[in-house]
């Protein structure tokens, strides 16, 4: 009889954990508080380190049906509009790292993972129920759901996001920190944009106290736009998504190049709307015990929420799941030792990605001499400093 893992959270991390557990010959009971599985309209960049994990799960074909494959990663000045550096993607990334660099609509990635779990008899997906608390005794983990059900299992995975109830019980370290950065997000139909504003590349526009990212998703039919600025967060942080005011965003972009301002202003005409997300994170992971204790393990944003300046939030959750699969497959070890092995193999890499994301944020938003040095380095070295071999080569 297979062991049973209980998973809190039905987002990308929770679904990835379910796939990993099934492949390790475990039964799965997943609990999602929403009435249906869905994801908000935002884009995700998947580096070759992440694409390799999805390929290993047999998901290459469905992945290729929904992704966009950008031709290059560009860094440009948000002030002058000039290109500062360029890194070729496409075949170059496949040759170096064994997989491509793709961009995807968050909802498409979520649906792809969910489809992989449909009709799998070992998987039980429970909607309208979250995991409220847990207790561990005599090698058994017991959860209490939001509907007051008690359910037993052999392990519990907390994949319940940046405000994780599982983390709160396991670590008791309070809410995530407010970063002082605000993300304005929009998704538009490329065909409804003027041709000069369409793109098949990933472009980062770097400016003082702000930066913007644009890239294609969903086979290039849509364009994902994100503008991140320094500014105070809305008072109500319990709801991450807030209506954004276009004049406020344009005020932040005052002094930037005409291309970037035109792109932002065309969002309503191209079927999109600006939404506002206060960026939250935590200090980098400092030990394996912050990711696993006893029969409970954390993964994704529950374990290591990070700023989006390395484009690896979803990627690290998928890497976590791949390592979880390896650990759960160690059938000669006690479950607590398997989860400890998972945490030991993940915490330092996650911490490094968190730290680099913090550093990138300072570089992207730099002013004065730091901004001058950044631009000079990009002009001189281009792709050589935009490539991240330790990240793209790294194993989960």
Residues annotated catalytic, as ranges: 215
Q: How far apart are CA 138 and CA 330, in angstroms?
A: 20
**Residues 301-335: b if buried by 16+ CB within 10 A, e if exposed:** bbbbbbbbbbbbbbbbbbbbbbbbbbbbeeeeeeb
Query: Strand 27-31 vs strand 4-8: parallel, antiparallel, or unpaired?
Result: parallel
State whether residue 49 is helix, strand or coil: helix
Question: In 36-127, where do the E strands start and end?
Answer: 43-46, 72-77, 83-88, 102-105, 123-126
Task: Assign 3-state DSSP to the chain and report helix, strand, coil percentages, each to 5.
Answer: 40, 25, 35
- Do residues 246 and 261 make contact, with C-beta atoms less than 8 angstroms apart? no
Where is 28: in which H helix or E strand?
Answer: strand 27-31
């Amino acid at each position: 009889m297979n062991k049973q893992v209980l998973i809190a959270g039905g987002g990308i991390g929770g679904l990835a954990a379910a796939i990993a557990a099934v492949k390790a010959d475990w039964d799965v009971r997943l609990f999602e508080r929403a009435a249906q599985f869905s994801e908000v309209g935002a884009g995700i960049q998947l580096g070759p380190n992440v694409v390799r994990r999805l390929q290993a799960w047999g998901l290459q074909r469905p992945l290729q049906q929904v992704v966009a494959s950008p031709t290059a990663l560009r860094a440009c000045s948000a002030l002058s509009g000039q290109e500062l550096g360029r890194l070729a993607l496409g075949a170059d990334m496949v040759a170096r790292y064994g997989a491509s660099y793709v961009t995807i609509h968050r909802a498409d990635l979520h649906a792809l993972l969910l489809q992989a779990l449909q009709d799998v008899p070992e998987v039980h997906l429970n909607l309208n129920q979250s995991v409220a608390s847990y207790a561990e005794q005599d090698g058994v983990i017991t959860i209490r759901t939001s509907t007051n059900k008690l359910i037993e299992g052999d392990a519990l995975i907390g994949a319940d996001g940046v405000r994780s109830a599982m983390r709160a019980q396991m670590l008791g370290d309070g809410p995530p920190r407010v970063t002082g950065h605000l993300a304005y997000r929009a998704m538009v139909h490329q065909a409804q944009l003027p041709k000069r504003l369409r793109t098949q590349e990933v472009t980062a526009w770097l400016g003082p106290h702000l930066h913007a990212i644009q890239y294609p998703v969903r086979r290039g039919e849509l364009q994902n736009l994100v503008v991140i600025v320094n500014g105070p967060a809305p008072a109500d942080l319990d709801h991450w998504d807030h209506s954004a005011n276009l004049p406020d965003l344009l005020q932040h972009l005052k002094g930037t190049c005409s291309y970037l301002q035109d792109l932002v202003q065309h969002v309503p005409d191209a079927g999109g709307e600006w939404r506002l997300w206060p960026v939250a994170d935590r200090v980098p992971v400092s030990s394996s015990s912050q990711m696993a204790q006893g029969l409970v393990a954390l993964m994704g944003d529950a374990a290591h929420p990070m700023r989006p300046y390395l484009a690896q939030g979803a990627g690290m959750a998928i890497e976590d799941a791949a390592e979880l699969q390896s650990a759960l497959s160690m059938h000669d070890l006690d479950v607590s030792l398997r989860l400890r092995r998972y945490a030991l193999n993940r915490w330092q890499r996650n911490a490094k990605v968190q730290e680099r994301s913090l550093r990138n944020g300072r570089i992207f938003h730099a002013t004065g001499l730091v901004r001058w040095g950044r631009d000079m380095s990009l002009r001189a070295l281009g792709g050589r400093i935009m490539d991240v071999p330790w990240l793209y080569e790294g194993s989960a």
